Each structure stands twice: as structure tokens, then as C-alpha cells.
Amino acid sequence: MILRAIFIAVCCLKPLQALSDTLLLASSNYYPHYAEDLPQQGAVSEIVRQAFLLRGIDVDIEFMPFARAFHESRQANYIGLVAAWYDDERAQHFFYSQPLYANQIVFFKRKSDTIRYQDYADIAQQQLRLALVQGYLQPQALLDSQPNMVRVAFDAQAFEMLARGRVDLVPGDKLNGLYLLQHKLPQYADTLDWLTPALELRPMYLLLSKQDPRSEALIQQFNSGLTELRHSGQYQQILQALLPHHSEP
């Protein structure tokens, strides 16, 4: 433990280029938060990039389906994930940063359907069908209720299945759903809405693989850069410029 503490301290004092010239991160497309074809690759990507840049570290991001991005990062083929939610099992394999910001998780449904529920067990008892994106974390109480679930690879697939009546509910980030309906699936924008209240506020974090020996020191560098980014006002500027309809939870 003493040697590890000394190593981290030395890394923090070294020129940051000694840690890495360019960090290679994996990411999925998660509109409007981060995606390959968004301006600056989205608000989350820009926050991660600028926080590291404040510590002299450059970042490159490669985009792929989430399940693959998670697997490749866990194996340290990429040093980490641009963003993911917290989970105890994941924390065994990754160092987590300070929170980036939170997703507002809601149930999306068809406007023509009247759906009411008291808890997740109600959903299973009503035999409602859910579309879940492979690799995304879901509330444990929802999974414990054993609903009728269909797994898909991408968010857009889930919403298309919902609009076509192949499933009844899609749990997901409210901004993500609104973006997809406005920009990727406009033909369904007038047919879908969401249930209130929100299921939860779920923070996103940068994850760095514990299999890469640089990661523990780098996560500390990122956290200090993120704190500076917030204090300077640049963090809020990034959100206002790149994230539609954002409000701080």
C-alpha cells in the first residue's frame, strides 16, 4: 500500500506526458450526450477531453456498440470508457471518476396507451414488454420483477420497436429519447411520450481500466482537471453549447 501511494504521488508530480502521449478511450453513441457524429462528439466527450487537456493529456475516442466498448475497455485494449453508470461489479474492474452529470431515467411509451403502475412488479403482472439495450444497467428492482424483456444493440432499435408496437415500454434517459425521436426517428416523434415521475437520476462517470497501470494516477489527474473545469465556468459553457434542454439535477 505504501509503495502504491508513492507511485501515485510520483506520477502526479511527473510531467503528464510521461503518463501517456494520447489516451485511447472507447465509447458507444449515446445521443445527445456523446456520439461520433455530434459536434465535438458531444458534451460528455468534450468534458472528458478538456479536463484531461488541463493536465496536458490528449484523448482520442473510438466509437462502437456499448457491449463491445465495455468488454474492450475491461481488457485494457482501450484504457477506459468515456462514460458509464456505476455498478459494484464494474467497480471491481474500473476506477471511477467524479460524476460528470446525471441522466434522468424515465419509461417511454406510446401516446395511445394508458399505462399505470405502482411498482416494477405491476409491470410484470400486466405482462408489459420492455426493450432493453444490451449492456446498459437497469434498476435491480426492475430486473428482480422478471418482466418480459427484449434485448437490443442500440437505443434507436428500442424506440423503433416501441413505436411499431413490438414492445410496450423502453426505460431510458429522457434527453436520449427526445433526441432520437427528433433527429433519428422523426416519423415516430408524435406517437411516443414518457411516464412521470422519473425512475431515477443516474450519474455518468469516466471509467479507466484497472488492468492498465497508469489508470489510478490518471483518474486523479482527471478529477483535478474536472474540478478546475467546473470552477472556471468552462464546464457549464460546454453543457450550454452542446447539450440540448440541459438542467442541472
pLDDT of residue 245: 65
**Same domain, yes or no: 118 and 195:** yes
Q: What is the pTM assigned to this prediction? A: 0.83
**Same domain, yes or no: 97 and 210:** yes
Query: Residue 73 sits in a domain of what CATH number?
Result: 3.40.190.10
**Same domain, yes or no: 185 and 226:** no
**Residue 227: inside a domain:** yes
Amino acid at 5: A
**Same domain, yes or no: 155 and 180:** yes
**Same domain, yes or no: 175 and 221:** no
**Same domain, yes or no: 112 and 186:** yes
Q: Label residue 13 by pLDDT band (50, 70, 90).
A: very low
**Residue 249: inside a domain:** no
**Residue 248: inside a domain:** no
**Residue 70: inside a domain:** yes
Q: Could you give the number of structural domains in the chain?
A: 2
What's the rounded Cα separation, in Å, for the pair 157 and 28?
14
What's the rounded Cα separation, in Å, for the pair 1 and 53?
29
| Grid coordinates of 136 | 446498459
What's the rounded Cα separation, in Å, for the pair 185 and 54?
37
**Same domain, yes or no: 159 and 210:** no
What's the rounded Cα separation, in Å, for the pair 175 and 169?
16
Q: Using one digit for the tens of pLDDT, what is the confidence trace for 146-172?
A: 889 999 988 899 999 999 999 999 999
* CA distances (Å), origin 42, targets 69, 104, 202, 243: 17, 17, 18, 7
**Residue 247: inside a domain:** no
pLDDT of residue 77: 97
**Three-state DSSP class for 148?**
strand
What's the rounded Cα separation, in Å, for the pair 74 and 80?
7
**Residue 186: inside a domain:** yes
Q: Using one digit for the tens of pLDDT, what is the confidence trace for 40-81?
A: 999 999 999 999 999 999 999 999 999 899 999 999 999 999
Domain region containing 151: 103-201
**Same domain, yes or no: 26 and 40:** yes
**Same domain, yes or no: 196 and 208:** no
Which residues lie across from 25 on neighbouring strands?
Answer: 61, 80
Amino acid at 180: L
**Residue 14: inside a domain:** no
Write out the E strands in 8-88: 22-27, 58-63, 80-84
Amino acid at 182: Q
**Same domain, yes or no: 116 and 192:** yes
